[in-house]
């Protein structure tokens, strides 16, 4: 069967309502008005037999009705958003209870998405870096109120507030005043340049990742606002955290994460998104763009442009299976990675110096948890009963969410291979709600 017929017969790829044209030129034309936009010690190896048996044995823990309800939610969202492929995993009490994939990881070659497919996890990467910071805190090598110039002396002081010391905590909580990507065609989001830190093997003398923003590091609004007074989401702040981790540990960021985090979680299917490395089961990435200048209401599904993630390993540079990300979340909330007091510190939402709530801790988003029944209505206490901990991610050709319910030991990860879609956070929450209700019955 050729790929055109394969795509036509796959019911989950597009809804009938939004499917207007399937051209012989292998693109999908969609009416924008009808389309609902959705928001290195141990060498990594493919899933081994022991892990496979563990996962299969645990999949029966979720009742068939709940499994069916979860699948319906996923397929409904996928069809509404016209997402090519999606991978979903749920763990409860350290066991995988749901693990499924839908659609295509490679449309052109007819490769079906499967649970071993590796997708860009985007800003879920920040949660990994958060745990790395927590480990260094427990090693007594780092404090959240340490000044960043203690570890990166060449980083410039703020020109308008040189007396204000930016701290590690400022970086991790997006309160530093360091900017995010520039807007427009010059945005670093589309960077194709290769970067390597001083701690990496660098035979071609590639530039340090900090070079991408260090000459112009501040957001414009911060020129009249002191660091700490404004929440401003910044992947570059996490690039700087990556450099701090390297300078403290004496090793490159990727090796540190492999040794101190991934291996301890049993994560052997997570890789830095290096374009020139052969990574089995790597998914393609897709985007929707206007058909042409005269047909801006009709959208064409395309491969994303090439981008190089080497400047942002710490903030958005990993690819993984959904299951490995669930393993990370499950290991964390079960207390096997960090001490409870460290986890509590990282999860607790902060306020700006002006007293504004941010709903963001140190690398983790959190909201009042309405998914589970509880009697705790005090929003200032990070009780596991009244918070849902999560992080979303958006990358070139990717949208993601990781959801944690610490009290119930439930972890949900959803990875999709299309950018600029909304609603993935709500999908993750719905799945968590279904699992939570199932376990109460």
pLDDT of residue 185: 63
Provide the pLDDT confidence category of residue 106 given band limits of 50, 70 and 90.
very high
Lowest mean pLDDT among 39-48, 269-278, 326-335: 39-48
Mean pLDDT of 80-84: 94
pLDDT of residue 374: 40
3-state secondary structure of 283: coil
Sign of CA dihedral 28, 33, 36, 39: positive
Q: Is the pLDDT of residue 226 over 90?
A: no
Distance of CA 189 to the CA centre of its chain: 15
d(CA 147, CA 143): 9
Dihedral angle over CA of 238, 244, 246, 247, nearest 10: 160
CB atoms within 10 A of CB 346: 22
Which superfamily does 3-440 belong to? DD-peptidase/beta-lactamase superfamily (3.40.710.10)
CA proximity to 82, closest of 5, 7, 189: 7
Contact 417, 83 (CB under 8 A): yes
Secondary structure string (H, E, C) spanning 155-182: CCCCCCCCCCCCEHHHHHCCCCCECCCC
Provide the pLDDT confidence category of residue 84 given band limits of 50, 70 and 90.
very high
Mean pLDDT of 30-59: 35
pLDDT of residue 189: 77
Q: Which residue has the higher pLDDT, 17 or 400?
A: 400
Lowest mean pLDDT among 26-30, 39-43, 117-121, 145-149: 26-30
HSE-up of 171 (CA within 13 Å, CB side)?
A: 32
3-state secondary structure of 131: helix
d(CA 276, CA 113): 22
- Average pLDDT in the chain: 82
pLDDT of residue 368: 72
d(CA 13, CA 7): 7
% of the chain with per-residue pLDDT over 90: 61
Q: Which residue has the higher pLDDT, 430 or 180?
A: 430
CA proximity to 342, closest of 94, 178, 172: 172
% of the chain with per-residue pLDDT over 70: 80
Q: Which residue has the higher pLDDT, 25 or 4?
A: 4
pLDDT of residue 14: 38
Mean pLDDT of 329-353: 96
Q: Is the pLDDT of residue 96 over 70?
A: yes
Top mean pLDDT of 13-22, 55-64, 290-299, 426-435 is at 426-435
Domain residue limits, the chain? 3-440
Per residue in 135-165, pLDDT tens?
999 999 999 999 999 999 999 888 888 899 9
Q: Is the pLDDT of residue 51 over 60?
A: no
Number of H helices, E strands in the chain: 12, 14
Provide the pLDDT confidence category of residue 439 given band limits of 50, 70 and 90.
confident
Contact 411, 429 (CB under 8 A): no
Model's pTM, two decimal places? Answer: 0.83
277: CB partners within 8 A, 6+ apart: 271
pLDDT of residue 211: 85
Contact 96, 321 (CB under 8 A): no
Q: Which residue has the higher pLDDT, 129 or 214?
A: 129
Q: Are strands 365-368 and 318-320 parallel, antiparallel or unpaired?
A: unpaired
Report, in this order, helix, strand and coil percent for the chain, each rounded to 5. Answer: 35, 20, 45
Sign of CA dihedral 196, 199, 204, 205: positive
Q: Is the pLDDT of residue 17 over 60?
A: no
Mean pLDDT of 318-344: 98
d(CA 338, CA 336): 6
Q: Which residue has the higher pLDDT, 202 or 226?
A: 226
**Going along 107-253, which residue ranges are E strands?**
111-112, 119-120
252: CB partners within 8 A, 6+ apart: 197, 199, 200, 246
Q: Is the pLDDT of residue 343 over 70?
A: yes
């Amino acid at each position: 069967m050729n790929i055109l017929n394969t795509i036509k017969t796959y019911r989950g790829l597009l809804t009938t309502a939004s499917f207007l044209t399937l051209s012989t030129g292998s693109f999908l034309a969609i009416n924008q008005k009808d389309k609902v936009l959705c928001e290195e010690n141990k060498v990594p190896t493919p899933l081994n037999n022991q892990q496979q048996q563990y996962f299969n044995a645990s999949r029966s823990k979720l009742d068939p009705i709940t499994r069916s309800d979860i699948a319906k939610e996923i397929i409904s969202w996928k069809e509404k958003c016209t997402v090519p492929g999606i991978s979903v995993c749920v763990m409860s009490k350290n066991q995988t209870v749901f693990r499924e994939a839908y659609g295509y990881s490679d449309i052109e070659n007819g490769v079906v998405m499967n649970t071993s497919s590796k997708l860009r996890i985007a800003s879920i990467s920040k949660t990994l870096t958060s745990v790395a910071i927590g480990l260094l805190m427990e090693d007594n090598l780092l404090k959240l109120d340490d000044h960043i110039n203690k570890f990166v002396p060449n980083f410039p002081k703020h020109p308008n507030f040189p007396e204000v010391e930016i701290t590690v905590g400022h970086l991790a909580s997006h309160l530093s005043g360091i900017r995010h990507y520039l807007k427009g065609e010059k945005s670093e989001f589309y960077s194709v340049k290769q970067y390597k830190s001083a701690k990496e093997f660098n035979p071609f003398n590639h530039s340090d990742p900090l070079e991408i923003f260090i000459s112009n590091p501040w957001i414009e609004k911060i020129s009249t606002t002191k660091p700490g007074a404004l929440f401003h989401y910044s992947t570059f702040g996490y690039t700087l955290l990556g450099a701090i981790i390297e300078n403290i540990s004496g090793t490159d960021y990727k090796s540190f994460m492999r040794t101190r985090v991934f291996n301890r979680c049993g994560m052997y299917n997570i890789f830095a998104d290096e374009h020139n490395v052969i990574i089995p089961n790597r998914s393609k990435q897709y985007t929707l763009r206007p058909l042409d200048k005269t047909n801006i209401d009709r959208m064409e599904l395309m491969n994303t442009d090439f981008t190089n993630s080497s400047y942002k390993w710490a903030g958005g540079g990993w690819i993984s299976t959904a299951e490995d990300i669930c393993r990370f979340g499950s290991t964390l909330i079960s207390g096997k990675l960090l001490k409870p007091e460290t986890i509590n510190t990282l999860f607790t939402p902060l306020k700006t110096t002006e007293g504004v709530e941010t709903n963001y801790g140190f690398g983790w988003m959190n909201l009042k948890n309405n998914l589970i029944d509880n009697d705790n209505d005090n929003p200032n206490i990070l009780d596991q009963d009244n918070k849902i901990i999560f992080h979303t991610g958006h990358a070139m050709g990717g949208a993601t969410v990781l959801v944690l319910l610490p009290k119930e030991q439930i972890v949900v990860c959803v990875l999709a291979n299309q950018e600029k879609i909304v609603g993935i956070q709500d999908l993750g929450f719905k799945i968590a709600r279904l699992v939570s209700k199932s376990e109460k019955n």
